[in-house]
Chains A and B, each alone.
Chain A
Amino acid sequence: MTNVRLADQASSQSSNEPDRALDPVTFEVLKNAFATAVDLMSEQILRTCYSFVIYSRDFSSALCDARGNTVMQGTGDIAVHVGTLHFQCKAVLEEFSHDIHPGDVFAVNDPYRGGTHFNDVSFIRPIFSEGRVIAFAQNKGHWADIGGAVPGSFDVNAREHFGEGLRITPVRIWSKGVFLHDVAQLLVSNTRAPRQAMGDLHAQSEATAVCEREVLRLVDKYSTATVVQAMQESQDYVERIVRRSLEHLPKGVWETVDYIDFDPDKPEGLVPIRIKLTLDGKGIHYDLTGSASAVGTFLNSGYGTTHSAIYAGTKTFFPDVPLNSGFYAAVTADIGPEGTVVNAGWPYAVTGFCSGTYEKLMNGIFELWSQIMPERAMACAFNLEYLLVGGRDSRNDDAPFFMWYDWMAGGWGGRASKDGATATAPVFGPGLAVQSVEGQERLSPVLTTSHQIACDSGGPGRFRGGLGVEKGGTLTDATGPVMSYCCDRARSITWGIEGGLPSIPHGVWMNKGTDQEIFLGSNFSSVHLQPGDSFTRPSAGGGGYGDPLERPYGEVLEDVIDGYVSIGRAAADYGVVINEIDAELDEFAVDEERSRELRLQIRAQRIGWLTEDANLVAKRYRERELSLLDVIRRYGVILDWGTGELFANTTAQYRELMTRRSASHWS
């Protein structure tokens, strides 16, 4: 090995040609070794974390180079952290540039410095060789609580970050190997579970040491210069893959818009997030200008998470490409000025970005790439959702504080060649495991009454959207319980593409089926509960792909036998008339003649339904003449699902998008 180029001369490569100093073997071996070093860090944190949210895989790990660029991100990392770790590392470099020493560890969670939300705390350890920093090991994990006004630190009503939780700008936690107890204590004392937080602080810091050990082993074996060179070449390599892949794709400009449900500071109406994608053969460029100004809830996104959505959404169409700053070099974005839903800036509240802007960007990007790579097309997936019930657990004499912090799997969109995936973790993190009901019942006084697939929740289509899940529970023994919900898409309902239909609205119902039934919507905070109150909510299914009237009878029949689709919706959504012969033996039969007639009728009428007087539709819903699914899937009308009140502006916007995504593809 003679021609190793010095690391300091290495700069970001934009050339299409390989610029390699390392031989192919050393490069491949080191690139894979970096991946192993990062995955070892993930294994370590998974085994030692205290936060059950981290344990459910809401964490990520990265090796960054001396300039903070990501060399390798963990193979099992949560999607939502993608493309944010280098921002956090750079923030540490900016704060401490010449004051970084062996044995230091820094913490940062600042969403205004490229972080995600306050709960996601990063620990960053510099790796030294030959007296200088050659890399940083970083682990980022979601703490169960980071202070602020509400348990779990998800304050739906927050408008500014001050009440959301503790903001950690880059801060030193270990100094030259000495634990700064006072600083650590200050951080964890601002959370509701200081002991847990201290445990995670230690576990995460230890995990970065595992990565450091691996990198130093490589340095011993291959030399500092070679390892540094390989870190740069790993980035160049990824950038080259993306650019070469583009050579086989069309050039052009694609545009779409997706919506957040509402902005409480404005009149009723959907909040647009606009995405323009340009492929010019050289790179992938996004333009988000024209998106709405920041909303008066915490669903806004900071620049870090907006980039994460862009990278993760794009990566879904390049599943085999490793993640590092080479990817971020090939994918660029103009996210416009600060003060918008996609670039909120200080001090707008952003903790709920994951249910708000993030999901809209991801799914909008799916829609755009579905046109560029039609064989990998996918309709909209359900929206990430968190339900929080907190209070004191009066099952025990000392009535400890409890937090029932729950998220669900849901349906993903129908695809070009198959139905959507049923009951799957959110696109925000397909590795994010839902919790065991038995585990939850031990920890909190909530008795879960159902956790099952929601019939008819999949958006109808030639390829049906995957099904969502319904989870309901009853509060048993608690004092002072309150409930909050972080979601969206009660109005901007999970949509279909290529003629497919929407799925179902998100939203929580309290005491459903009783005199006290209330629809609380998909975004609310601190609703007071009484022991004995019940609550339930579905996760949406995925949107449908293709015209549901073209779904073969046999596939609809199978769905009916499994209870994925009801006999009623088989007729209403698919135009398939199914008669029950002996349900006990799964014997059902399609009446083909009546189905042909029904499909003809629906074909003749359905365009007209989308322009029917929305007030009349709302009235018929209130009078229980029309079902909720008819209102949405046939008429494209959006209501308050509890009271039946019409949202006229929202309906006009929703009908426009439904015309574009669904009706314009019908024959």
Chain B
Amino acid sequence: MASARVAVDVGGTFTDVCIFDEGSQHMRVTKVPSTPFDPMVAVLDGVRRAKVHLNQVNLFSHGTTVATNALITRNFPRAAMVTTRGFRDVIEIRDGTKDDLWDAYKDVSGPYIKRRDRFEVNERTNYAGNVITAVDEKEARQLAALLRKRGVTTVAVCFINSYANPQNEIKMRRILQEELPDATISASAEILPEIFEHDRFNTAVSNAVLAPLVSGYVNRLADELTKGGYEGDLLLLHSGGGSMTPRMVKRFAVRLAASGIAAGAIAARHIAQQCGYENAVGLDMGGTSTDISLISNGELRISKEWHVEYGHPIAFPSIEVLTIGAGGGSLAHIDIAGSLRNGPQSAGADPGPACYRSGGDQPTNTDANVVLNRLGTNLAGGAKILDHQAAVEAVDGVIAKPLGVSVDEAAQAILQVANANMANAVRLITIRRGYDPRDFALIAFGGAGPLHGAEVARELNIPVVVVPPSPGVTSAMGCLLVDIRHDLSAMYAALAASCDTSDLESKFQALEAEAAARLRHEGVADENCLLQRTISMRYQGQWRSLSVPIGSGVDALGQAVEVFHQLHEREFAFSQLDQPVEIYQIHLSAVGKIPKPTFVPARTLVRDPGAPREIRPVYFGREGWVATPVYERSQLPAGATFRGPVVIDQLDSTTLVPPRTSAEIDEWANIRIYITESDNSLEESK
């Protein structure tokens, strides 16, 4: 084997090791069971089983759930928070809101650092950055001694208004470092120099509780890889859609809190680009939930309103992924008022859908697909056998009988509701951003995405669906496609009209110097560094800002203001040209380009898909039962074309090409489904 790239995506159940052979341009995937007690065991096991020689690997990237799991289980080292007197409880008071507005018995989870481990010192900086009370050296050292006595190994230093002037915070950090040389110290303004104490404090606290564990894990793994002969840097995926090396993980461990969740979105973007679609929706449908991502003008949406658990913000830019409780295992039921519902409760992996015969007797989307023969009963080459009769009984007993309809109609109804719910979620993420889904392609993946993709697209008037070659392991492929990336920011308050542009320029240059230093520290050559400035602006008096790309030079700000007006119009349906525009924050994204695998397109000469593996009756709402050809995906040549209905089976997924669509296997081995006739539910639902 020639040189290879390896990406490892650790999920709750499986660890996927994805290998791209640079010689053959071929990608293969090895699945091994995850090992939650020490995820590294599965990673190394997977690498071994994939028969990869680490000395032939020229890039090893990794999406890990270590940080996410630690946050959810509160599995932290002995941590402490040091804060301004009077503000010990900022991370517990939060913004006070409840996630569930109506259920008085559903509470927001507790803070990452308990009250007993939060300490106050006398210090204060005001809104303008003037120090009102300096840190008292003696008091600071006494507190450090107390923390030592308590065996604290990691500390978050969170002072009010440190974003305006970090002097006190830095002094406190230095003293703690001197007194506790083995501890990790996270100062809030160094992690995230932004206004709003709860967001900043909690981000720093998250960093503090994660740093020792996460940094320890990645260093151990990096050591093992090096011992095995890997000469490059281990790249860790972070929530912003980029990656970083273990050297930066030590300082910004919190950015790994969503390592991996972005991988599916990145893969969706790649597939869309490959197919020439600037705008796409990623629909990653698994067993219990569906992740929806949005690509516009070739870029993924970035959000700073992000958390692992409600009420505990991690305010770094993250790829915006909307997760909804709809998946193959979502349960259909009749509610107390006699109405058909679908989800959000799920049968999950245990007991699973009724057709799994592992104790579940409630109908799921998977059962409905089995009843209608959309999903075969012999999956993964015989590794999984589904029980058609059990699915029929569940749908009949729970849905068909109470509604007084046939089992087929009931199963069809279950799927229609599921697809409409998914379409609503897509609508929320597109229309609320001012986009029209008709301009988008739908990238359907995950185990269940290809079964539902075409009908969700039709519901949304999306004209085309793309099903990638290995829908079940698309996320792992995303890990192969990332660059090193850092996101830096600084507060900058000024009116655009009266802003001192040379001062603004020097602030950007300061960020650029810091960014370049970080990338150099990670071994990125200067010619591979890409720095992109953005600036947050808003209409004066408004509370919501928009980030706008900005160049350098004297005209840059004026152009950015024009772009701001346009973006505001697009995003919010109005703009106010006469209203003063206010600058609020400046940002810099620093990308260290990593060479990507090159995929080579196949020739698409053949149009005939060949003989189907079988022909079986499949139920479709308007058409009823239709004799439908079933193909084996691995046998289909590039260029093959179909008219729906067709079912395409493969090891990790099943793709449904329904009636009134056409499909082809494109040069990248994707299935593209074209919706030739828009939906008309009136007829379909009778």
Contact = CB atoms under 8 A, between A and B. Distances in A.
Contacts of A472: 86
Interface string A10-52: 0000000010000111111101110110011001101111101
Interface centre among B89, B149, B336, B337 (most CB of A within 10 A): B337
B686 interface: yes
Contacts of A441: 126-127, 161
Contacts of B342: 28
B86 A76 contact: no
B99 to A, nearest CB: 9
Nearest to B117: A586
A424 B431 CA distance: 32
A545 to B, nearest CB: 12
Interface stretch (B53-61, B383-391, B536-544, B555-563): B536-544
Contact of A25 (B89, B337, B416, B572): B416
A379 to B, nearest CB: 11
Given A24-B340, A430-B101, A222 B424 contact: no
Contacts of B431: 40, 210, 214
Contacts of B539: 50, 199
B107 interface: yes
Contacts of A210: 431, 573
Interface centre among B87, B102, B336 (most CB of A within 10 A): B102
A436 B198 contact: yes
B116 A563 contact: yes
Given A447-B126, A449-B86, A586-B116, A206 B413 contact: no
A448 interface: yes
A451 B95 contact: no
Given A1-B682, A29-B416, A222-B681, A431 B196 contact: no
A28 B98 contact: no
A50 B101 CA distance: 24
A422 interface: yes
Contacts of B680: 221
A46 B417 CA distance: 28
A421 interface: yes
Contacts of B198: 436
Given A1-B685, A36-B428, A44 B572 contact: yes
A342 B539 CA distance: 41
A226 interface: yes
Contact of A450 (B87, B340, B416): B87
A376 B105 contact: yes
B420 A423 contact: no
The binding surface of chain B is classed by DSSP as loop
Contacts of A561: 116
B47 to A, nearest CB: 44
Interface centre among B336, B416, B679 (most CB of A within 10 A): B336
Interface stretch (A238-246, A260-268, A518-526): A238-246
Interface in B194-247: 195-198
A434 B88 contact: no
A356 B171 CA distance: 48
Interface in B371-422: 403, 413, 416-417, 420-421
A286 interface: no
A433 B115 CA distance: 21
A271 interface: no
B94 A423 contact: yes
Contacts of A241: 335-337
Given A43-B432, A240-B337, A451-B87, A434 B681 contact: no
Interface centre among B124, B149, B420, B542 (most CB of A within 10 A): B542
Contact of B542 (A79, A199, A430, A563): A199
Interface residues of A, number: 96
B144 to A, nearest CB: 13
B95 A434 contact: yes
Contacts of B92: 422-423, 453
B127 A24 contact: no
A199 B340 contact: no
Contact of A316 (B104, B339, B572, B681): B104
Interface in A409-441: 409, 412, 415, 417-418, 421-425, 430-434, 436-439, 441
Contact of A221 (B417, B421, B579, B681): B681
Contacts of B161: 438, 441
Contacts of B196: 436, 438-439
Contacts of B531: none
A111 to B, nearest CB: 23
A75 B98 CA distance: 13
B679 A24 contact: no
A244 B337 contact: yes
Contact of A452 (B86, B100, B103): B86
B518 interface: no
B134 interface: no
A259 to B, nearest CB: 22
A53 B338 CA distance: 40
Contacts of B571: 47
A18 B337 contact: yes
Interface in A490-513: none
Contacts of B86: 448-452, 472
Interface string B663-686: 000000000000000011111011
A48 B544 contact: yes
Nearest to B571: A47
Contact of B572 (A206, A221, A423): A206
B90 interface: yes
B96 A319 contact: no
Contacts of B146: 584
B473 interface: no
A444 to B, nearest CB: 9
A178 interface: no
Nearest to A45: B572
B349 interface: no
A448 B341 CA distance: 49
Contact of B679 (A44, A221, A378): A221
Contacts of A87: none
A237 interface: yes
Contacts of B115: 453, 562-564
A44 B132 CA distance: 40
A457 B211 CA distance: 35
B634 interface: no
Contacts of A43: 428, 432
A40 B428 contact: yes
Nearest to B413: A25
Contact of B96 (A36, A206, A226, A425): A425
B197 A437 contact: yes
B177 to A, nearest CB: 21
Interface centre among A238, A366, A421 (most CB of B within 10 A): A421
Interface in B530-552: 539, 541-544
A453 B681 contact: no
Nearest to B335: A241
B679 A423 contact: no
Contacts of B126: 441, 447
A98 interface: no
A464 interface: no
Interface of A: 1-2, 18, 23-29, 31-33, 35-36, 39-40, 43-44, 46-50, 52, 55, 57, 75-77, 79, 193, 195-196, 199, 202-203, 206, 209-210, 214, 221-223, 226, 237-238, 240-241, 244-245, 315-316, 319-320, 366, 376, 378, 408-409, 412, 415, 417-418, 421-425, 430-434, 436-439, 441-442, 447-453, 469, 472, 561-564, 584-586
Given A424-B98, A469-B93, 13 more contacts: A18-B338, A24-B403, A25-B417, A48-B574, A76-B101, A196-B541, A436-B196, A436-B198, A438-B195, A442-B127, A450-B85, A562-B115, A564-B115
Considering the complex of A and B, which 5 residue pairs feature the smallest CB-CB distances, nearest first? A409-B96, A450-B86, A433-B95, A319-B102, A319-B103
6 contacts: A26-B681, A423-B94, A430-B98, A433-B96, A469-B93, A563-B115
